[in-house]
């Protein structure tokens, strides 16, 4: 096969791959379109029409699920206080999530449930049986495996349910943000805050109805929401993971570019993406620094990514002991097998930010860099991220 033919096939495959917004319920999709003034790029109109049709189907399936199950799933009590893995994007939250869910006592929301939160109780088994081929085997922004059963960020579920979220900006990356206040739920108007809390609790209740084990949840956006999450789950545990900010910056820029390319309804111009990363980093770290004082030592654990990958088992055992999560020996054999299978895993490599950006990182992130013991950098170097 010629390289040009292969290139055309890859382009066609990318064009027709599922977009995350295809999980939106109808009113959620309409809200997003209206707030963005329906500014879909002409080349993406076929995707918009597809999502509109599918979102109507989701509404019907949600009503059907409710008709079959009633209100029992959404009223299921979440008996075990969840464990929340928090931290900025690209700090190792996915790795830590995958390690935590190896414990047979733990449950988690998978990719299908987070992208189809409105009717997964009704459709998950059927969809995963016949449509497993729709997801790529690897995530577009790194080398981590993808799949419907893989753990996923519950923030996506909130998007699909029509709640405010910073992630909605991915759909229309060239427009102004539509949910600027969605990091800190406390800053939303009271009716929006209550709606967010109700839908989040509903999603976790339905997950618990499906599987009653303790939920382990991961979403970087929750780093700014400790106060709100404690209102819902006063005994929740939080694990905050940090990573070298000089590594985090280029990796996060790449993350957003990848998501804009893959899931955007516009041809992205990437304007302001560096400022987005710089400012959102400050929001998350300011919030976690402010709110971690609300937590007892037995409910908050902080770890550096570099230490976690160096001494994984001892640190995981420390997490279990400090957060009172039970006998670590029930999880350690699975974690060891996971580590053995990942021996050949290689992280992506990027160049260090140019001097202009290094100066901005040092100025605006300097307190975080110093707080967590990372050495200041003044010149470019190759980074593994």
Tokens of 190: 């009271």
Please compute the mean of the pLDDT values over residues 268-275 and round it to a whole number: 96
Task: Please write the tens of the pLDDT for every residue from 186-201.
Answer: 999 999 999 999 999 9
Distances (CA, A) of 159 to 22, 61, 117, 156: 11, 17, 10, 5
Percent of the chain with pLDDT over 70: 88
The predicted structure's pLDDT at residue 13: 43
Gap between the Cα atoms of 249 and 42, Å rounded = 32
* Predicted confidence band of residue 127 (pLDDT cuts 50, 70, 90): confident
Q: What is the pLDDT of residue 351?
A: 72
Q: What does pTM read for this prediction?
A: 0.90
CA-CA-CA-CA torsion sign (71, 77, 83, 87): positive
The full set of domain ranges for the chain reads 3-384
Which residues make beta-bridge pairs with 86? 240
| 185 band by pLDDT with thresholds 50, 70 and 90 | very high
pLDDT at 307 over 80: yes
Mean pLDDT calculated for residue range 266-284: 96
Is it the case that residue 148 has pLDDT exceeding 80?
yes
Taking CA atoms, 189 is separated from 180, 192, 194, 272, in Å, by 13, 5, 9, 27
CA angle 152, 315, 101 (to 5 degrees): 25
The predicted structure's pLDDT at residue 4: 46
Residue 306 pLDDT: 97
Indicate the fold that domain 3-384 takes in CATH: Rossmann fold (3.40.50)
Alpha-carbon Rg for the chain in angstroms: 21
Whether pLDDT at 255 is above 70: yes
pLDDT digits (tens, 9 = 90+) for 37-95: 999 999 999 999 999 999 999 999 999 999 999 999 999 999 999 999 999 999 999 99
Lowest mean pLDDT among 15-24, 252-261, 294-303: 15-24
Distance of CA 311 to the CA centre of its chain: 25
The helix (run of H) or strand (run of E) holding residue 126 is: helix 120-130
Mean pLDDT of 248-275: 96
Round to whole Å and give the CA distance between 306 and 293. Answer: 24
Q: Are 113 and 123 a contacting pair, CB within 8 Å?
A: no
pLDDT digits (tens, 9 = 90+) for 347-385: 666 677 888 999 999 999 999 999 999 999 986 554 555
Mean pLDDT along residues 321-339: 97
pLDDT tier at 208, thresholds 50, 70, 90: very high
pLDDT band at 331 (very low <50, low <70, confident <90, very high): very high
The residue-averaged pLDDT of 163-169 equals 95
Q: What percent of the chain has pLDDT over 90?
A: 81
The SS3 call for residue 385 is: coil
What's the pLDDT score for residue 334? 97
């Amino acid at each position: 096969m010629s390289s040009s033919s292969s290139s055309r096939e890859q382009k066609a495959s990318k064009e027709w791959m599922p977009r995350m917004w295809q999980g939106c319920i109808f009113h959620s999709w309409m809200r997003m379109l209206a707030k963005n003034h329906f500014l879909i790029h002409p080349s993406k109109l076929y995707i918009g029409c597809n999502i509109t049709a599918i979102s109507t189907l989701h509404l019907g399936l949600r009503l059907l699920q409710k008709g079959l199950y009633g209100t029992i799933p959404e009223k299921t009590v979440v008996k075990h206080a969840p464990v929340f893995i928090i931290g900025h994007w690209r700090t190792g939250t996915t790795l830590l999530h995958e390690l935590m869910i190896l414990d047979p006592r733990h449950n988690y929301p998978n990719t299908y449930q987070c992208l189809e939160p409105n009717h997964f109780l009704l459709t998950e088994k059927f969809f995963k049986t016949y449509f497993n081929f729709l997801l790529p085997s690897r995530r577009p922004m790194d080398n981590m495996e993808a799949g419907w059963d893989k753990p996923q960020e519950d923030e996506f579920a909130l998007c699909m349910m029509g709640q405010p979220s910073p992630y909605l900006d991915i759909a229309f990356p060239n427009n102004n943000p539509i949910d600027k206040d969605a990091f800190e739920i406390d800053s939303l108007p009271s009716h929006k805050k209550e709606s967010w809390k109700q839908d989040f609790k509903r999603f976790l209740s339905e997950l618990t109805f499906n599987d009653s084990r303790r939920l382990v949840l991961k979403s970087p956006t929750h780093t700014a929401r400790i106060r709100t999450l404690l209102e819902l789950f006063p005994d929740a545990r939080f694990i905050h993971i940090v990573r070298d900010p000089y590594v985090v910056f280029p990796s996060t820029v790449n993350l957003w570019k990848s998501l804009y390319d893959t899931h955007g309804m516009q041809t992205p111009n990437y304007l302001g993406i560096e400022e987005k990363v710089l400012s959102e980093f400050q929001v998350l770290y300011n919030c976690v620094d402010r709110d971690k004082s609300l937590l007892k030592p037995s409910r908050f654990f902080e770890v550096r990514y570099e230490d976690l990958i160096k001494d994984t088992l001892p640190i995981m055992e420390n997490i279990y002991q400090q957060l009172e999560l039970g006998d670590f020996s029930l999880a350690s054999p699975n974690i060891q097998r996971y580590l053995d299978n990942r021996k050949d895993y290689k992280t992506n490599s990027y160049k260090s930010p140019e001097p202009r950006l290094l100066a901005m990182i040092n100025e605006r992130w300097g307190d975080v860099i110093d707080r967590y013991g990372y050495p200041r950098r003044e010149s470019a170097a190759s980074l593994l991220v």
